[in-house]
Structure formats: C-alpha cells, structure tokens
Chains A and B, each alone.
Chain A
Amino acid sequence: MDGPDVGWYLIVAAILFGTGALGVMLRRSPLIVLLSLEIMLNAANLTLIAFARQQGNLDGQIFALTVMAVAAAEVAIGLGLIVAMARRRVPLDVDQASALRG
C-alpha cells in the first residue's frame, strides 16, 4: 500500500474536525457556522476514505459520496435560511435567534 500511514490521515481529520467543532461553538455568524459544519463533515469523509483505502474496501468511499450529497442538500437549505434571514433584516447572529428558549 502506497502513501502515508492511515494514522496521518486520522490526525489531519481530527484537526479538521476540531477546527470545525470550535467554529460551530465559538462563531456567531450563521454563515461561518455552516462553513464549520462542512469542515466537520469533510473530516468525517476523510476518515471514511482513509479507512476504506486501508481496508481495501470501497464501501467507505461510497459512503463518503453519500455524505457529500447530504452535505450539499444541507448547505442548500442552510444558505436558503440565511438568505431568508438577510432579506427580512433579521440580524445574522445565531445568539440572537433564540426564540426556542424554554
């Protein structure tokens, strides 16, 4: 098997996931939150592909494609929401969108 050891891929994936998670937890702009989500999904994809390669099994790669499709759909909705918020002049700040407080 060529290329770096699977451990390296996992490290990169962990860094990406951590970056994404921190982005979701710390940033207030919905656009950035959405971007961070995508980073997390891609970290997961990277993991899937790395393991698929290591195992010599294509299931993981197929699953990564599915994740991408879901991510695309999710981004379409998320961006749609953000555009709708902007049009209605709702402040683009996730902390202020707290109408569901118990």
Chain B
Amino acid sequence: MTIGPWICLLAPLAGAIAITVAGTRISRSTAAWISVLTTFLAFGGALVAFIALWSADPSDREHVSTAYTWLTAGDFEVKMQILLDTLSSTMMLVVSGVGGLIVWYSMGYMHGDEEERRYFAYMSLFVFSMLMLVEAGNFLLMLVGWGLVGLASYLLIGFWHHKPEAIAAAKKAFVMNAIGDATFALGCVLLIAATGTLEFGSVFDQVGSMSTTTVNLVALGLLGGAVAKSAQIPLHTWLPDAMEGPTPVSALIHAATMVTAGVYLLVRASPIFEAAPDVQHLAAIIGAITLLVAGVVALVQWDIKRVIAYSTMSQIGYMFLGAGVGAYGYAIFHLMTHAFFKALLFMTAGLVIHHLDGEQDIRKMGGLRSLMPRTHIAFAVGALALMGIPIFSGFWSKDGIVAAAGSSNDTLGWVLYVAGLVGALLTGLYTTRLYFAVWRGEPSDLVKAHAHEGAGEGPRSMTIPVGVLTVLATIGGLVVIPGVWEPFLKWIDATAEPLVQATVAEDYITSAIAVALALIGFFVARYAFAAGRQVVRRPAIWQVLEHKLYFDELYDALFYRPAAALSVALRRKVEEPIVERSLDEIGAGTIQAGGEVGRVQSGLLRAYAVAVAFAVCVLVVVFVAVR
C-alpha cells in the first residue's frame, strides 16, 4: 500500500541528486530526460498509491508509513513518516502529474540555455520538496517540505542570475515566505507545548483538550504560513515579481503547485481551524479580499505573465474562501482544476513568449491567432476554464465554492458570496482583456516581424504537454456534477468532512449567476477592445491600480525605510563615534605612548648602565626597608 508514495517521494530526489552528481559528465538533454523521467516515475508511484487506495475499503483509506524515528527529545518524537489518505493521494497526483508535464515542457522552453542542468536539478528538487510537503505525516516534515519549496522557488525565480530584477524578485519571495515559515514554525512549537506531538492524527485527537487561546494562536500561525506561501493579502507582493523566473517555473511553482500549498494546509489542518472558527473565517475573508484586489489589479497590467499571476492570486483567493467556510472538497477541487487551466495558460503564454523571442508586453502583441492557431485554441480553453464557462473545468469548481459560501446563510456567508460573484465578473473582464490583446485584432509590427518563421508553434516537447493540459482543462472538472455525480467530493470528504453543503438548487442558481456575470465581463471587455480602449478608463483609478494599490510603497514606508533609517542612525550615532573611534583612539594612543617611551631608549650604553645601577640601588633599599 505504501510503496507507491515512497517511490513518488524519492524518485524526484534521486533525479535531482543524479543530475547534481553527474555534473558536466552528462549532456544537457540527458539531464533534462533524467528530470522528466523521474517526475513521471513519481507520477507512476502516485498512480499506484491512488489505485491501491481507491480499491481499498472506504474505512481503510488512511495509512501512515514510518521509515525511522528522526528526532527524539525526551517523550517527544518526530518520525520520518508519510501519510497516505485521499487528500494526499490527490495532491500527489496533481503535483507529480502537472509537474511532469511542465518539466517536459521545460525541455523545449529551456533548450539552448547554458545552465540547463542546473535548471533541471532545481526542478527535480522542487518536485521532491512539494511531494514532501503533501505526503508528510506530521507537521515538522510538512514544515521541512514547506521550507524546501521556498528554497526551490527562490533558486528558480533567480535562475537567470544575470538579471538584477530576477535576483531582487527571488530575495523578495524568500523574505516574504520566511515570514510565513516563521509563523508556521511558531504554531508547531505551540502544538508541541500543548499536545507533545506533531503527528497529524494525534494532534487532531487532542484539539479538544487545548485551550481556546492556544488553538487560536496555533491556527493563526498556520494561517500566516498559508497566507505567505499562497500569496494572499497582505503577504502577496512577491508573486507578481516572481514572474521574472522562467515561464515553466511560473507555471509549476507559481500557479499549479507551490502557491496552492496554503490551501492544502488549511484543508489538512482543518480540525485545528474548525476549533478556531474566527481564524477560519479570517482565512475566508483574506481569500475574498485577495480575489477582489487581485482581480482589479489584473485589469491594468501590461505584462502577459503578470496578468496571469494576478489571476492566480485571485483564484487562490477562491480556494481560501472555500477552505475558510469549510467547503474543503470544493477548495481542493478548484486547486486541481486551477492547476490544469492555470498551468495551461502559463504554458501557452510561454509558447507566445518563446515565439516572440522573450517579449512579454501585451501592448506589442495582437493578432497572434493567425500565427499560432493551435496555441490560440489552447489559450482559449484555458481562458474559458478560468472564466468558469460551462463544461470547462473551472465552471464546476469555482461556482461550488461560491455556492457553499452562500449556503451558510449568515451575514459573513452572504458577503463572501457576493465577493465571489463580483470576482467572477472581474475574472471575465481581465481574462477577456488579455485574450483580445494577445490574440485578436490586427497583427502588430512585432508579430509581423516573427510571422515568416511561422512553420511550427514550438517544439514537440512543448506542444504535447500543452495538448494534454488542454484536454484536462476541458474535461478535468467532470468529476463533480452537482446532484448527479460527485465522486471527487466524496473522495476528499473522507479526509476532511465539509462544514457547509450547498443544495443542488443553490449550486445551479449560483452557477447561472456566475456564468451570467462572467459573460457580462466578457462582453464589456470585448466591447472595450473593439472600441480601442481599456476597461478601466478613469486615469486616477488606473494610476492606483497600476501601483497595485500601493502595497509595495506601503511596505517600503512601513518596514524598509524605518529599518534603513535606523541602520543609518546606528551607524552615525553608535558605530562611527563609539565603536570605530574607540578603536582608532586605542591605536593612536598606543602609537603615541610608544613614541614617548621610546625616548628612554637613548642608545647610550653608559646611560643604560647608570639606569641599571640606579635600579639596583633602589631595589636594595626596598628590600632592606621591607625586611
């Protein structure tokens, strides 16, 4: 039963180590193949685990496999253990499956880069870390994976180390994530103090015996980690900048997997959050705010990847909302469909960028449809899924979250419900704006300049994964049809029982409203495009949105500038006058004293003799006197 998850976990690690150890003894394409094959081997392991779990009795779908005891401190033990249940097996499939496709796609995208081997070693390391995160059987191992994905993300954002913006973005992502890691770690420490263990099962059994304050603090700590990792307000500013990394990295880490780790944590630790309902509601509120803010900011971005990045934040906002109101199944469902269609959008954007020799500004694009017809279809499918148009995967998952929020029937639920629906409108607006700016209209000069090359749309290693994801983004949502066929929700419910359950009627009414709003968004954006203007027309609002609601400026003023001013003040007031000057004075004083004492050394032998004689006389007198 547990051989599958171990293969799944260790195959990418073996790949990363093999590429690192082999170094330049293997060719670049061999390194790429090692990475691709080990990731698909991991997918095979995940599949084996899934099938074993599927065929097992429903009451027997939770397995813990312990390799050895990792740490012992008195009664406290942490074991090297993995947990296989319905939730983790789903995550394993998503991570290794989508990860395998994206690593494969990278072969084409990164072809010719001088440091391909390093890239693929990092990618394998990331896949391993993410699998570690989702398979961990206790909070500490999860924290290990949590930190490792942050490291891999840092390494890959800054992969093009000759670009100063990429280095800055990598540092920003790392620092922002470190805040979350710290709160997560604090939550774990509190858990050890309160329960004496970090194993999921034992912790959840003891939640009831913890004091309210402790539970709230633990939940807040975990929520802090989730918010930072998943780029939710207020720790979201790193994600748009992270788009400096290679596009497959954006697809894998900053869309499909790592940024959804926060949602996974919310669902995994749901018993803790349920014991701290205020914190759980806070998660939903954060999700709602983020989905709205990211949605409006996405309306004014010019960089194709940044638009998709803001849309990612917005969609993760939906997942937080779902996990926050207790619709765990739908949150994970949306996580999965989002992994499909957002990876697809990033990869088609990558094809476009690849085709246009690295251009990412949508103002210079346009009319690409005639040049890249198949890529256009793939992008359109991704966009439709993102907007939640029926039969495409996003339709089934997003509306379920919104309906679940509304079905809780209190004020907060209705506010969240409205926020979710407004988000659907915004999604329609920004997706349509992006779609038309890139694909429709007259071909721009830049596009014309690249038209003559237009035999293929990309190497096969790039187009096949895109094709697979196009299919998945289309039909991937059909595992949940409310009221008819809901195997996916039942599957997740086995691990995390939902708190709210929308009725079938509510589901379909919400879907109808959401689709109508998305279509309104579509037509408004299309009309604006046809009229040759932007959706946001007021320059003042545009200004505010273009500065991303001044979050960067706010953090600059709140944290960076005071810290910098404090440092400068400390240098001027402490370092220079006290520390540095004291050292200078000690040195100068020694030199001066040496000069003074040196005069005694006259070089006259007879003077020395007199001094010795005098000293002897003095000593004699002293000895005599003392006696």
Residues of A within 8 A of B (CB): 21, 24-26, 28, 33, 94-95, 97-102
Are B601 and A24 within 8 A (Cβ)?
Answer: no
Residues of B within 8 A of A (CB): 597-606, 609-610, 613
Pick from B599, B600, B602, B610: contact of A25, CB under 8 Å: B610
List B contacts of A99 (CB < 8 A). Answer: 603
Pick from B598, B606, B609: contact of A102, CB under 8 Å: B598
Are A94 and B605 within 8 A (Cβ)?
Answer: yes
Given that A24-B609, A25-B609 are contacting pairs, would A102 and B604 also be in contact in the complex, using a CB cutoff of 8 Å? no
Pick from B599, B600, B606: contact of A94, CB under 8 Å: B606
Known contacts A21-B613, A24-B606, A25-B609; 10 additional CB pairs below 8 A are A25-B610, A25-B613, A26-B606, A94-B606, A95-B606, A98-B604, A98-B605, A99-B603, A102-B598, A102-B601
List A contacts of B606 (CB < 8 A). Answer: 24-26, 28, 94-95
CA distance A98 to B597 in the complex (A): 17
CA distance A33 to B613 in the complex (A): 15
Q: What is the minimal beta-carbon distance from B441 to any residue of chain A, in angstroms?
A: 89
**Top-5 shortest CB links A-B:** A102-B601, A98-B603, A101-B603, A102-B598, A94-B605
CA distance A48 to B563 in the complex (A): 78
Are B613 and A102 within 8 A (Cβ)?
Answer: no
List A contacts of B605 (CB < 8 A). Answer: 33, 94-95, 97-98
CB-nearest residue of chain B to A21: B613
Are A98 and B609 within 8 A (Cβ)?
Answer: no
CA distance A70 to B604 in the complex (A): 25
Are B610 and A102 within 8 A (Cβ)?
Answer: no
Q: What is the minimal beta-carbon distance from B605 to any residue of chain A, in angstroms?
A: 4
CB-nearest residue of chain B to A37: B609
CA distance A26 to B605 in the complex (A): 10
18 CB contacts below 8 A, A to B, read A21-B609, A24-B606, A24-B609, A25-B606, A25-B609, A25-B610, A25-B613, A26-B606, A94-B604, A95-B604, A95-B605, A95-B606, A97-B603, A98-B603, A98-B604, A99-B603, A100-B601, A101-B601
Q: What is the minimal beta-carbon distance from A47 to any residue of chain B, in angstroms?
A: 14
List A contacts of B598 (CB < 8 A). Answer: 102
List A contacts of B604 (CB < 8 A). Answer: 94-95, 98, 101
CA distance A102 to B602 in the complex (A): 6
List B contacts of A102 (CB < 8 A). Answer: 597-603
List B contacts of A100 (CB < 8 A). Answer: 601, 603
CB-nearest residue of chain A to B602: A101
List B contacts of A21 (CB < 8 A). Answer: 609, 613
List B contacts of A98 (CB < 8 A). Answer: 602-605
List A contacts of B600 (CB < 8 A). Answer: 102
CA distance A26 to B604 in the complex (A): 12
List A contacts of B602 (CB < 8 A). Answer: 98, 101-102
Which one of A25, A26, A98, A99 has the highest number of Cβ atoms from chain B below 10 Å of its Cβ? A25
CA distance A24 to B601 in the complex (A): 18
Q: What is the minimal beta-carbon distance from A14 to any residue of chain B, in angstroms?
A: 12
CB-nearest residue of chain B to A99: B603
CA distance A24 to B614 in the complex (A): 13
List B contacts of A25 (CB < 8 A). Answer: 606, 609-610, 613
List B contacts of A94 (CB < 8 A). Answer: 604-606
Which one of B602, B604, B605 has the highest number of Cβ atoms from chain A below 10 Å of its Cβ? B605
CB-nearest residue of chain A to B597: A102
CA distance A58 to B105 in the complex (A): 103
Q: What is the minimal beta-carbon distance from B84 to any residue of chain A, in angstroms?
A: 83
CB-nearest residue of chain A to B611: A25
CA distance A98 to B31 in the complex (A): 76
Q: What is the minimal beta-carbon distance from A93 to any residue of chain B, in angstroms?
A: 10
List B contacts of A95 (CB < 8 A). Answer: 604-606
Q: What is the minimal beta-carbon distance from B182 to any residue of chain A, in angstroms?
A: 60
CB-nearest residue of chain A to B601: A102
Which one of B598, B600, B609, B610 has the highest number of Cβ atoms from chain A below 10 Å of its Cβ? B609
CA distance A28 to B604 in the complex (A): 10
CB-nearest residue of chain B to A94: B605
CA distance A94 to B609 in the complex (A): 12
CB-nearest residue of chain A to B600: A102
List A contacts of B597 (CB < 8 A). Answer: 102
CA distance A26 to B610 in the complex (A): 9
CB-nearest residue of chain B to A30: B605
